Amino acid sequence: MSGAAAREQAKSSRRTRRILLYVVAILAAFYSFWPVLVMALEGYNIDLGVIFAGRAVAISIGGLTVAPKTIIPTAYYYMQALSIEAYPRLVANTLLIAALSIGLALAVGIPVAYVLARIDVRGKTFISYLLLALRTVSQFVVIIPLYIAYSSLGLFDTYTGIALAEQMLILSVVVWMLRGFFSDIPRDVYEAATVYGKNEWQVFRRVVFPMVIPGVVVTTMFALVLLWNEFLIADTLTSVGTRTVAVGVWEGMSLNQLSFSALAWDSLNAAGTLAYIPAIAAMLAIRKYLAKGFSLGMAR
Amino acid sequence: MESKRWYILFIPLFAVIGFVVVYPVILSTYISFTSIDGTPTLSNYVAMVSTSTFWNALNISLLYSLTSTIVAIAIGLGLTFILTQELRGKGVFEVLYILPLAVAPIVVGVLFSPSSVWDDIQGFLHFVLHQPYFNELVPSFYFPVMFFSEAWEWSPLIMLVALSIVNGTAKEIYEAAELHGASAFQKFTMVTVPTIFRSPVMQFIVVLRFIDAMRAFEIPLAWDNWLGYTSTIGSPIDTISLYLYKLLFSSSLGFPIGVVSAVALTLFAITLVGAAVLLRLLKAVGG
């Protein structure tokens, strides 16, 4: 065919492909967003199934009723969750545990990450894989001995106790990410910085550490989201006193609730949405910096 | 740096690991080889190996872990592809694609269970398309949904890592493909994807995902409640972690920490071996 016709055809096929791309992109956005939207709406007792039916309806599958019988949206569940002995208390607990836990992980992890980024030692990859191997340990291997130890040490249902136990979750992540950020500092900076002081500590304190503070912040926020959403360790080593957000969403927010109530989906979704808002805010705030944190100090 | 002194900086790390991991592993091993009256015994392991529940749970955990990891990778790569094309409003799409990552796993379990996402779909199918309801309480439904929901939550992580790898690679690697007139999709599958898997970081994250999925607990727990299996030890959906949870807290069995420790240590060993194998495989394939 002639050159002009060929160009026309190429152009229209490009256009089709672009439309296809946008369609796929939007479908993917829908796939990501819709369950979150449902969670928020169900908290208001807004149920799309009911809307499609146009009336209050009970969808019954295999003998279980899975849809609400009313169609009146209400803010009741959100209000209930926001009362002072509910969600705010859980948030306070979780933040306190996070402060202790992440604080410990940073105190322990920063020196290690610094060394790993500085020293060309064969032990480098070994430590990464050691931390990975530690992560393969099932929580149940750890929970039983810790539960026994905590009972005699008086650490059960305490902030320190949980902060220590959660190290098995966040310590490896913290070391990995910090190492990525330390590695991001060019070698020349280390060399040039010896001008400032003869010993390593001064180089660290005056030059390196200020440069890595943004990385520490990113690491802290990522670890915070992990702790915020963690369920198993928090569930077994806490009781009502130090209950965290994730456990509270599941077990019910009020001080008097000790067990899961099977059909209280609306209050669970309301609580889940409240728990979600800070987590996604933190995740979105740090998303651009996560790449450096995940580099693990290795060449890409 | 003085090469002798840096060992000191590792001491706090080893101290914490020693208390939080090493000591419990040692104590758990001791417990698993001890019977109730304190005498050494293999009975816990024998009991474990002879219960069909254990083997079922192991199968389910392995299936869960492998399937959800593979699906998470596939979806994550798909999202990566979209975001590496020229797209208006890419920033908005990126924000939307990250949304699943911050949902608490326990809530993800609830979201994909009958009362949340599915009753809307049922409602749509029934009242708008006039189809009959479908049964959500059968294994052929809830197993795929469980695996998928785990993948749903974590595919953005794969996406973020893949994007950082793509952004860090030079554009020259596409030159050969472009000379041959490759389409955007071909460029992605034939150049970008291999580059992503050749990265040690991606290999690491995949293995990490596998490890965490082997210990998956919250999503099965949510379904467990829905299906009414909370007091059934050895229900069809028990992953090993769920099985352990029920064993440990079932007072009717007298809190059998011996068997629980045996199973937990076995899970540890299997996960470790699985992770090592997976890592070897990825390195061999990716390079």
pLDDT digits (tens, 9 = 90+) for B231-282: 777 788 888 998 898 888 876 667 788 888 999 999 999 999 999 999 999 8
Minimal Cα distance from B261: which residue of A? A141
Q: Do residue B212 and residue A135 have CB atoms under 8 angstroms apart?
A: yes
CB proximity B129 to A under 8 Å: no
Minimal Cα distance from A164: which residue of B? B20
Q: Do residue A164 and residue B104 have CB atoms under 8 angstroms apart?
A: no
Pick from B102, B269, B217, B80: nearest CA to B160? B80
Going by pLDDT thresholds of 50, 70 and 90, the confidence category of residue B22 is very high
**Would you kindly state where each structural domain of chain B is located, as residue ranges?**
52-286
Structural domains of chain A ordered from first start: 3-74 (no CATH), 77-293 (1.10.3720.10)
Environment class of A133 (CB within 10 Å of its CB; exposed 0-12, middle 13-18, buried 19+): middle
pLDDT of residue B74: 95
Question: If you count residue pairs, one on A and one on B, with CB atoms under 8 Å apart, how many are there?
Answer: 304
Render pLDDT for A18-70 as a digit per residue (tens, 0 to 9): 899 999 999 999 999 999 998 888 888 777 777 776 666 666 655 556 555 56
Distance CA A203, CA A181 (A): 17
Range with lowest mean pLDDT among A42-56, A95-109, A225-239, B136-150 = A42-56
Question: Of A52-66, A242-256, A270-284, B186-200, which one has max mean pLDDT?
Answer: A270-284
Tell me the mean pLDDT in the region A223-236.
Answer: 90
Which of A 18-57 lie inside 8 A of B, CB atoms?
A: 21-22, 24-25, 28-29, 31-36, 38-39, 42, 47-54, 57
In a mutational test of the A interface, the residue from B119, B150, B201, B214 whose CB has the highest number of chain A CBs within 10 Å is: B119
Tell me the mean pLDDT in the region B196-221.
Answer: 90
CB proximity A59 to B under 8 Å: yes
Tell me the average pLDDT of chain A.
81
- Which class is B52-286 in CATH? mainly alpha
Tell me the mean pLDDT in the region A135-161.
Answer: 86
Are B211 and A132 a contacting pair, CB within 8 Å? yes
Are B81 and B188 a contacting pair, CB within 8 Å? yes
Range with lowest mean pLDDT among A26-35, A58-67, A230-239, B73-82 = A58-67
Tell me the mean pLDDT in the region B58-65.
Answer: 94
Q: Do residue A298 and residue B201 have CB atoms under 8 angstroms apart?
A: yes
Tell me the mean pLDDT in the region B113-139.
Answer: 78
Which of B 2-61 lie inside 8 A of A, CB atoms?
A: 2-3, 6, 9-10, 12-13, 15-17, 19-21, 23-25, 27-28, 31
Question: Does the structure show a pLDDT above 50 at A262?
Answer: no
Beta partners for residue A61, in sequence order: A64
**What does A114-137 look like in DSSP terms, one character per residue?**
HHHHH---THHHHHHHHHHHHHTS
Residues 6+ apart with CB under 8 A from A171: A105, A108, A109, A131, B13, B16, B17, B20
Query: What was the ipTM of the complex prediction?
Result: 0.87
Going by pLDDT thresholds of 50, 70 and 90, the confidence category of residue A120 is low
Residues 6+ apart with CB under 8 A from A225: A279, A282, A283, B102
pLDDT of residue B278: 92
Which of B 62-121 lie inside 8 A of A, CB atoms?
A: 78-79, 82, 85, 87, 93-108, 110-112, 114-120
Q: Do residue A171 and residue B271 have CB atoms under 8 angstroms apart?
A: no
Which of B 161-180 lie inside 8 A of A, CB atoms?
A: 161, 163-165, 167-169
Tell me the mean pLDDT in the region B223-229.
Answer: 79
Q: Which positions in chain B touch A284 (Cβ < 8 Å)?
A: 95, 98
Are A43 and A266 a contacting pair, CB within 8 Å? yes
Question: Does the structure show a pLDDT above 50 at A300?
Answer: no
Question: Does the structure show a pLDDT above 50 at B10?
Answer: yes
Tell me the mean pLDDT in the region B17-34.
Answer: 91
Under DSSP, the state recorded for B40 is B
pLDDT of residue A108: 93
Question: Amino acid letter at B286?
Answer: G
Question: Does the structure show a pLDDT above 80 at A111?
Answer: yes
| A36 vs B99, B245, B248: nearest CB | B99
First vs last Cα of chain A: how many Å apart?
46
Question: 10 Å Cβ neighbour count for A253?
Answer: 26
Going by pLDDT thresholds of 50, 70 and 90, the confidence category of residue A266 is confident
Q: Give the residue with greater pLDDT, A146 vs A261.
A: A146
| A38 vs B101, B120, B263: nearest CB | B120
Q: What is the dihedral of CA A247, B240, A145, A168, to 10 degrees?
A: -60
pLDDT of residue B269: 93
To the nearest whole Å, the CA of B267 is away from the closest chain A CA by 7
**Percentage of chain B modeled with pLDDT above 90:** 37
Under DSSP, the state recorded for B237 is T
Q: Strand A60-61 to strand A64-65: parallel, antiparallel, or no bridges (unpaired)?
A: antiparallel
